[in-house]
Structure 1
Amino acid sequence: MAEQPTRAWYATLRHLWLDERDARRAVPPALAERLRERVAASERRHSGQLRICVEGGLPPSYLWRHLRWRVPMPKLVHQRALMLFSRLHVWDTEHNNGVLIYLLLAERRIELVADRAVARRVDAQAWSALVRDLGEALHHGRFEQGLLQAVDGVTELLAPHFRPADDGPRPNELPDEPVLR
């Protein structure tokens, strides 16, 4: 029984240790620019909006819930991804077709959060396959390849369902740059 609290404390320390600097090391400026370009190219193929967020560790309020209330870490990571989905306004697109790719370095966890219209049209198994492939790439140290493939995978899932408008260019509703926290 004492093993579980010890594991929780180690996880907490890992989150407190990793921060925005670690996210910036994982996604240096050159990679951030390539990701921005890939997101922009993706959004030309469909009407959806795509955001990438890489975070070092969870904020203390989440860690407190883990330690004090024993909320499982996977649930906290999902809650954080949903909160960032909201905070980054991915939910606030005109056609409800935004997608957030969220990576939490301290837990080596990936969450894909899709807005309502996307969730109605794209099968959950397709999202699971994307998460699995990205996780595999990250596990083998292929951070750039994994993120670029994830953007391409989201593009392939959105393009058949959300065609770009035929009446000329549309405004970019969300920034294309990855968010590093």
Structure 2
Amino acid sequence: MKTFSRLIKHLCTTTADGRRAFPEETLKAIEQSIVEGERRHRAEVRMVVEPSLNSQAVLNGTSPRERARELFSHYRVWDTEENCGVLVYVNLADHQVEIVADRGVGRVVTTKEWQAICRTMTEGFARGVYHDSVITALHQLNTLLEAHYPDDGSTRNQLPDKPVML
């Protein structure tokens, strides 16, 4: 029964829902937040928003965490000089946010710190506040990354800053 209700949620969550939650103005603000953050730290941040999974992925039981790891690989977030790539994944149908970090960042940032950033978004999303929630969470993320990977003048942008809407 759980799979069936999840399948219905994914079938009913459309690309149009994604565009309503993350209009062009919000996507530009996300990109700007990533750009500004990467001026202060050496980590590389990618954000992917996915309204819903396809039916087969839901029926196969693909979790948001598994999907985030798949996208981490697909978008080569792991391919940074200092192993400091971070993927922020939003799955609207499941109301989930996942952060997948490369091993360099994963060694210094705690699960509790990642969860706090995810909670900022999910709590805001539950109230229908997408723009402000994601920008606040990215500010938290950038502050955290700046503490562990401060800019030392050697930074160069290794990954695109523009968020991906699937």
TM-score when normalising by structure 1 = 0.86
What amino acid does structure 2 have at the position aligned with 1:60? S
CA deviations over 1:28-53 (Å, ceiling 9, x no partner): 11111111111100000001011111
Partner of 2:16: 21
Count of residues paired in the alignment: 166
Runs in 1 of length 4+ with deviation above 3 angstroms?
Answer: none
CA deviations over 1:36-84 (Å, ceiling 9, x no partner): 1111000000010111111111123311213xxxxxxxx6111001001
**2: CA distance between counterparts of 1:51 and 1:78?**
15
What amino acid does structure 1 have at the position aligned with 2:43? G
**2: CA distance between counterparts of 1:89 and 1:21?**
27
Partner of 1:53: 48
Partner of 1:128: 115
State whether residues 54 and 103 of structure 1, in contact with CA within 8 Å, keep that contact through their aligned partners in structure 2.
Answer: yes
What amino acid does structure 2 have at the position aligned with 1:177? K
Q: Which runs of 5+ in 1 are unaligned?
A: 67-74
**2: CA distance between counterparts of 1:172 and 1:23?**
27
Pairwise CA RMSD of aligned residues? 1.5
Three-state SS of the structure 1 residue aligned to 2:107 is helix
Cα deviation for residue 17 of structure 1 reads 2.6
Q: Which runs of 5+ in 2 are unaligned?
A: none
**2: CA distance between counterparts of 1:19 and 1:175?**
25
Three-state SS of the structure 2 residue aligned to 1:121 is coil
CA deviations over 1:83-133 (Å, ceiling 9, x no partner): 011111111111111111111110111111111011101121111111122
**More helix per residue: 1 or 2?**
1
**1: CA distance between counterparts of 2:73 and 2:152?**
25
State whether residues 19 and 55 of structure 1, in contact with CA within 8 Å, keep that contact through their aligned partners in structure 2.
Answer: no
Three-state SS of the structure 2 residue aligned to 1:133 is helix
1:103 paired residue among 84, 90, 95? 90
**2: CA distance between counterparts of 1:115 and 1:19?**
30
**1: CA distance between counterparts of 2:41 and 2:19?**
29
Cα deviation for residue 171 of structure 1 reads 3.0
Partner of 2:146: 159
TM-score when normalising by structure 2 = 0.93
Partner of 1:176: 161
Three-state SS of the structure 1 residue aligned to 2:78 is helix
**2: CA distance between counterparts of 1:23 and 1:93?**
29
Partner of 1:72: none
